Structure 1
Amino acid sequence: MKQSFRAKRMLKQNIRLAQSSKLNLVALMDIFTILVFFLMVNQSDVVVLPSNKEMSLPQSVSEQLPREQVLLTVTPNGVLLQGKQVWRGDWQQAAELWQEPLSVAVKQELQYLAGRAAPLNTEQQAVGRPITILADATTPYAVLRRLMAISAATEYRDVSLAVEQRSNALEATP
């Protein structure tokens, strides 16, 4: 018996639909390649400094974003350098009790970090190595001044203070 054109077409379609479908990996790989490049380009825009929940940074209208560099964290009960505690004490004590041990501990750790880093070229020697000081808003100024002096004495003269950026809307209100 002869099959009609419609029956032949339906038979071909049934055979074609019965086959397992194939996954087109080329299109999927294209999407992931574009996604990887997109994430790599946009990832560099955000810089987040590590901080404690107890710490509240001073507010400022600074426009400059933080860079990847040595981080000196000042907590209410001590000093951390790159996350490693280098000195523990109380700022409420007399200045003579905390200044000398703090100076020695921080200076030793900064010299160790400078020794591990690449040597400075002639342009960098004028400016010094970069360091960011992350301190609570209630940290006494004498402590910050002492830490900046210690940093400057150990090649870390490019000092930045970490602050929380205040919006311009708050600045405009009297």
Structure 2
Amino acid sequence: MRRMTRNKRGVTKLNLTPLMDVFTVLVFFLMINSATVETLQQPKQIKLPESVVEAKPRETVVIFVGMEEVLVQGEPVATIADIEATNNVEIEPISARLAELSESVIGLSTQAVAESQEVTVLADKSVPFSVLKKIMASCTGQGYTKVSLAVVQKSAQSNEV
């Protein structure tokens, strides 16, 4: 009779430590993978063209080309009317702002942007190509040789019928 009472006292408890370890690893995994996706914020007044894009965007110098003005890293530098009126291939205010950005490196993220020598142009789809050509010439004149045009990603399946 005594042996039966000992077996009843030996009730096991659930050990939650391994379960918590698994959930901690899962949380870190999800946090790291969710942070790798980078999206460019599109201003409301700019309507980007659509295209099938396979490469992920990287952190670069961003040039917004709206219907009325051009912004480099969010700072207005020129108007579309001034760019269309000039006969120069390069636009001086844009070249000056890009030179200023490459010289003023603060922190690791801006250093990576400056060293990459890449520019992403977010241009409205109704902006004339002559304006975009002058902006791209200004970028290459300052050493930013990798110029990317931002587009709205559309599904690749819509082209296949």
Q: Shorter chain as normaliser: what TM range?
A: 0.7 to 0.9
Cα deviation 1:102-147 (Å, max 9, x = unaligned): 812111110011112459xxxx8xxx71111111111110111000
Q: Match for 1:58 among 49, 70, 76?
A: 49
Q: Matches of 1:79 and 1:73 in 2, distance apart?
A: 6
Cα deviation 1:125-174 (Å, max 9, x = unaligned): xxx7111111111111011100000000001111111111221222124x
Cα deviation, residue 33, structure 1: 5.0
Q: Name the residue aligned to 1:13.
A: none
Which SS does the other structure have where 1:53 is aligned? coil
Which SS does the other structure have where 1:138 is aligned? coil
CA contact (8 A) 2:80 2:131 kept: no
The percentage of aligned residue pairs carrying the same residue is: 28
Q: Is 1:133–2:121 an aligned residue pair?
A: yes
User: Which consecutive residues of structure 1, in runs of 5 or more, have no partner in the other structure?
Assistant: 1-23
Cα deviation 1:31-53 (Å, max 9, x = unaligned): 34531332112321x22111112
What CA RMSD, in Å, does the superposition of the two structures yield over aligned residues? 3.5
Q: Is 1:43–2:35 an aligned residue pair?
A: yes
CA contact (8 A) 2:83 2:131 kept: no
Please report the TM-score for the alignment, with normalisation by the length of structure 2. Answer: 0.73
Q: Name the residue aligned to 1:114.
A: 102
What amino acid sits opposite 2:66 in the alignment?
A: T
Q: Aligned pairs, how many?
A: 148
Q: Match for 1:71 among 49, 58, 62?
A: 62
- Distance of aligned partners of 1:37 and 1:48 in 2 relative to their CA distance in 1, 3 Å threshold: same
What amino acid sits opposite 1:142 in the alignment?
A: S
Q: Name the residue aligned to 1:146.
A: 134
Cα deviation 1:17-70 (Å, max 9, x = unaligned): xxxxxxx899657634531332112321x2211111232111112311211111
Q: Matches of 2:30 and 2:73 in 1, distance apart?
A: 30
User: Which consecutive residues of structure 2, in runs of 5 or more, have no partner in the other structure?
Assistant: 1-15, 106-110
Report which of the two structures shows the higher radius of gyration computed on alpha carbons.
1
